[in-house]
Amino acid sequence: MKLYYPYFNLFYPKGTTNYRLEVLVKMPGVCYKEAIEQKFIEDYWEVRIKLREKKDLIDVAPEKLEEFTIELTPKKVDELEKIKIIVKNYDNTLKNGDPDGEGQTGRGSGEED
């Protein structure tokens, strides 16, 4: 399977702790977003975009772009020092065990609104 990497920006209003990610994902045309999960794991904040396939679709483009706005919900702002984004098609098992599309950012790399 070809890997699909997200393009993203971290935004936050100056003087607040309201952080959001705007993510643009290139993915197979038969996929749709099933869920977006987020949690703190060891030393980074993980955002996981879970994809599923609609197998009954015909005449769809091989690839499509989807945009997501994700409000981040950490208990402490320090948890956002490192952010990892994983986009994974859960209907496709990779033979070599490589991860699906991943991207990383840090709080210092965000843009102020």
The predicted-structure confidence for 100-112, as pLDDT tens digits, reads as follows: 545 555 555 565 5
Confidence category of residue 26, pLDDT binned at 50, 70, 90: confident
Distance, CA of 5 to CA of 85 (rounded, Å): 9
Higher pLDDT, 73 or 102: 73
Residue-level pLDDT at 53: 87
How much is the pTM?
0.73
Tell me if 71 sits within 8 A of 22, measured CB to CB: no
Higher pLDDT, 95 or 23: 23
Helix/strand/coil percent split, the chain, to 5: 5, 55, 40
Please tell me the least confidently modeled range out of 1-10, 61-70, 92-101: 92-101
Is residue 20 within 8 Å of residue 12, measured between CB atoms?
yes
Calpha distance 96→21 (Å, rounded): 30
